[in-house]
Amino acid sequence: MRVLGIETTCDETAASVVKLKVGGGGTILSNEVMSQIAEHAAFGGVVPEIAARAHVDVLDRLVVRALKDAGVTLKDIDGVAAAAGPGLIGGVIVGLTTGKALALASRKPFIAINHLEAHALTARMTDNISFPYLLLLVSGGHTQLIAVRGIGDYVRLGTTIDDAVGEAFDKTAKMLGLPYPGGPHVEKEALKGDPMRFSFPRPMAGRPGADFSLSGLKTAVRLEAERIAPLTATDISDLCASFQAAVVDTIADRIRAALKLFRATCGTPTALVVAGGVAANGAIRRTLTRTANEMGLKLVVPPPALCTDNGAMIAWAGIERLGLGLTDDMTFAARPRWPLDANAAPSPTGKA
């Protein structure tokens, strides 16, 4: 089975063809991603209108390239999958409409994909792992701990009540005069800095439940930076190192809390799976390895290009759903908000 996947929910335009392997897992036949970072950098964040227009500008070419790289035409594929949310509505509409049009014109099944479900299932494409598993999704838009029990069967164990982890990195970077997106710059500064110089709060640590809260930490960094201003290069490195140390401890604590909830409600997980752009952070990866070891859990972190937004994860989610006969029709509407766990209380920030 081969599926074309289209992703346009945020600031990455992506198209990919993935093939189901005999015995499970997927082979990525092509994976085209075009980042819009340069177009948004001047504004210090993603501008929805610019994003939607940029998707329109490049998506058709990317789809053609994805098919060509995979050595197939629309005739050879078994379905077209497009992310239908959650995300920036203008961009979502671009990808969803393109996906529907391609499916209609080629008379292939159409599959509307929840972007979060695609992140959640990526580890099954790369590592062929079985359900149930514990997923930590950490990106610029999302911070969630989820029990993945099956296709379409998710229990949200924790979410952020304010900022996402990547967002906290980005806002901290902006405050300290570092470029956008800030995560990699904060990490680079942190390598040179002293993580013990400032003792920042570990928000929610030890609290029941597995929710995150990061805005207090960000404020603590701001107050400290204002107190010691003007900042020297060493101050900036030390602030970054101390901030990152607080994030790392918070993530470890919240995973431990989520595992307890998981065991109480969903049994024993087969693995701890990590997805989202923040998973590129070396200090966070090392903590995840240590925490997974401590808990006796296998850790699965897909390669960075599959942790950040991409089309292969959408194609793979399409393969999983198509395999179960779960297709959608042309009336499927874009969903700016689309929680994975419909029973979970709405997140205060809308970060589903």
Which residues sit at the interface with Zn ion, rule CB under 5 A? 139, 309
Of residues 267 through 296, those in contact with ligand KG4 by CB under 6 A are 276-278, 280-281
What is the per-residue DSSP string for 253-285? HHHHHHHHHHHHHH---S-EEEESGGGG-HHHH
308 near ligand KG4, judged by CB under 6 A:
yes
**Is 181 an interacting residue with respect to ligand KG4 (CB under 6 A)?**
yes
Q: Is 242 in the site for ligand KG4 (CB under 6 A)?
A: no
Among the listed residues 110, 105, 17, the one whose alpha carbon sits nearest the alpha carbon of residue 66: 17
Q: Which is nearer to ligand KG4, 132 or 277 (CB)?
A: 277
Range 348-351, long-range pairs (CB < 8 A, 24+ positions): 348/161, 348/162, 349/160, 349/161, 349/162, 349/163, 351/141, 351/142, 351/143, 351/144, 351/159, 351/160, 351/164
Tell me the sheet residues that pair with 96: none
Residue 324 CB, shortest distance to ligand KG4, in Å, is 26
Given 86, 109, 182, 195, the residue binding ligand KG4 (CB under 6 A): 182
Among 154, 169, 316, 338, the residue binding ligand KG4 under the rule CB under 6 A is: 169
- Which listed range, 19-27, 101-109, 136-144, 234-242, lies at the site for ligand KG4 (CB under 6 A)? 136-144
- Smallest distance from ligand KG4 to CB 251, Å: 11
**Cβ 191 to ligand KG4 shortest distance, Å:** 11
Name the binder of 277 from Zn ion, ligand KG4, none, CB < 5-8 A by kind: ligand KG4
- Residue 182 or 193 having the CB closest to ligand KG4: 182
* CB burial string 129-164: b at 16+ within 10 A, e below: beebbbbbbbbbbbbbbbbbbebeebbbbbbbbbbb
Give the C-alpha separation, 174 to 11, whole Å: 18
Measured from the CB of residue 266, what is the shortest distance to ligand KG4 in angstroms?
A: 25
Shortest separation between residue 11's beta carbon and ligand KG4, angstroms: 7
The residue (of 120 and 157) whose beta carbon lies closer to Zn ion is: 120
Measured from the CB atom, the residue of 33 and 59 that comes closer to ligand KG4 is 33
Q: CA neighbours within 13 Å on the CB side: how many for 134?
A: 30
Contacts 24+ apart (CB under 8 A), 173-178: 174/44, 175/218, 175/221, 175/222, 175/225, 176/221, 176/225, 176/231, 176/236, 176/239, 176/240, 177/236, 178/236
Q: Which does 79 bind (CB under 5 to 8 A by kind): Zn ion, ligand KG4, none?
A: none
Count of H helices and E strands in the chain? 11, 10
Binding piece for ligand KG4, criterion CB under 6 A, among 37-45, 48-56, 139-147, 203-211:
139-147
Widest CA span in the chain = 64
Q: What is the rounded CA–CA span in Å between residue 103 and residue 143?
A: 32
Q: How far is the CB of 209 from ligand KG4 (least distance, A)?
A: 24
- Does 187 interact with ligand KG4 (rule: CB under 6 A)? yes
Which of 139, 242, 250, 287: binder of ligand KG4 (CB under 6 A)?
Answer: 139
CB of 90 vs ligand KG4, minimal distance in Å: 16
> Which spans of this chain sit near ligand KG4 (rule: CB under 6 A)?
10, 139-141, 166-167, 169-170, 181-184, 187, 276-278, 280-281, 308-309
